[in-house]
Structure 1
Amino acid sequence: MHYFSQSCTYDHSWARVVIGMWHKYPNPHCSHVVTVDVVDRTINPETGIIRTERILGCKQRAPIWIVKLFGGSEDAFVREISFVDPSTQTTTISSINLSLSQFATCNENIKYAPAPGGRTIFTQTAEIQTRMTMWRSAADKLEGWLAQRFEQNAQLGKVGFTDVLKKLWDEANERKEGVPASS
C-alpha cells in the first residue's frame, strides 16, 4: 500500500474556497479531468449540510504493460462524495476509482477548514492499494505507477485550484471596483 498526503493554506476564506471548489474543472492544469457529472445533491433540512455525489471522467495514458496486463482504455471514472457543512465551515470530500477497481483502489480524502486570518487549510490524503496477491511483482509495479500518477495529478490539482481561486476572486474584486476584468 502507498500513502500520500499534503496540506497547504489558501489565502481565501472558507466560503470562497467552497465556491471555487465547484469551478475547479475544467482547468488547463488538470486536463486529465474531462467530464464532471453531478449524480445527486441533497441538503439536510435539519443540519444544512449539502451532500453532492459526482462522477469525474478522466483520460490517463497508462503504460502499455498496464493496458496489456489489465485491459481497459485511457478512460477512467472516479466517484466523489462531498459534504459541505455551513455551520462548522468544513468541507470533506472522499473519492474512489471506479475503473479497474478489481485490480487496485485509490481512496482519497480532502478537507477544507477555516484557518486564522480569513484563510483556509487544505488537507489531502490517499491510500493506493493493489488487490492482486498472486502477481506480487506486477502489483508492486502497478501500485508504484498509480502512486506516482496520483502525486503528479495532486500537485497539478493544487496549482490549478490556486489559479481558479485567483481568477474567480480577482475578477470579482475588479467588477466590484468597476475595473473591467482582464482576459
Structure 2
Amino acid sequence: MHFISTSYIYDHSWTHVIIGMWHKYPHPHCSHVLTIDTVDRSVDPKTGIIRTERIIGCKQKAPMWIVKFFGGSEEAFVREISFIDPATQTASVTSVNLSLSQFATCLERIQYSPSQDGRTTFAQSAEIQTRMNMWRTAADKLENFLAERFKQNAHLGRAAFTDVLSTMWEAKQQQAAMA
C-alpha cells in the first residue's frame, strides 16, 4: 500500500476556494478530465451541510502492460463525494476509482479549511492499494505506477486550481472597479 500526503496554502479566502471548486474542470492543465456529472446534491435542513456526489470521467494513458494484463481501456471513472459546511467553513472531498477497482483502489481525501490569515489550507491524502496478493511483483509495479500517476495528476490539479482561483479573483477585482 502507498500513502501520499501533501498540503498547500491557497492565497484566497475559504469562500473563494469553495466557489472555485465547482469551476476547476474543464481546464487545459487537466486535459485528462473529460466529464463531470453531478448525480446527487442535497442540503441538510438542520445543519446546512451541502452534500454533492459526482462521477468524473478521465482518460488515462496507461502503459500497455497494464491494459493487456488487466483489460479495460484508457477511460476511467471516479466517484467523488463532497461535504461543505458553511457554518464551520470546512469542506471535505473523498474520491475513489470505480474503474478496475477489483485490481486496485485509490482513495483520496481532501480537506479545505480557513487559515488564521484569511487564506485557505488544502490537505490531501491518498491510499493506493492493489488487490492482487497472488502476483506481488505485478502488484508492486501497479502500485508504483498508480502512485506516480496520482502525484503527477495532483500537481496538474493544483496548477489548474491556482489558475482558476486567480482568474476568478481578477474577474472579481474588475467587477469591483466598474461598480
What SS class does the counterpart of residue 62 from structure 2 fall into?
coil
Q: Does 2:64 align with 1:91?
A: no
Q: Distance in 1 between matches of 2:98 and 2:90?
A: 26
Percentage identity across paired residues of the two chains: 66
What runs of 5+ residues in structure 2 fail to find an aligned partner? none
In the alignment, what sits opposite 2:48? 48
**How much does 1:13 deviate?**
0.6
**How much does 1:169 deviate?**
1.2
In the alignment, what sits opposite 1:133? 133
- Partner amino acid for 1:43? V
**How much does 1:175 deviate?**
1.8
Q: Distance in 2 between matches of 1:125 and 1:170?
A: 30
What SS class does the counterpart of residue 19 from structure 2 fall into?
helix
In the alignment, what sits opposite 2:66? 66
Deviations 1:20-75, CA, capped at 9 Å, x for gaps: 00001011111111100000000000000000000000000100000000000010
**How much does 1:171 deviate?**
1.1
- Partner amino acid for 1:63? P
What SS class does the counterpart of residue 18 from structure 1 fall into?
helix
In the alignment, what sits opposite 1:25? 25
Scaled by the length of structure 2, what TM-score is found? 0.99
- Partner amino acid for 2:151? E
**How much does 1:117 deviate?**
1.7
**What root-mean-square deviation, in Å, do the aligned CA atoms of Structure 1 and Structure 2 show?**
0.9
Q: Distance in 2 between matches of 1:27 and 1:116?
A: 30
What runs of 5+ residues in structure 1 fail to find an aligned partner? none
4+ long deviations beyond 4 Å: none
**How much does 1:116 deviate?**
1.6
**How much does 1:6 deviate?**
0.8
In the alignment, what sits opposite 2:118? 118
**How much does 1:110 deviate?**
0.1
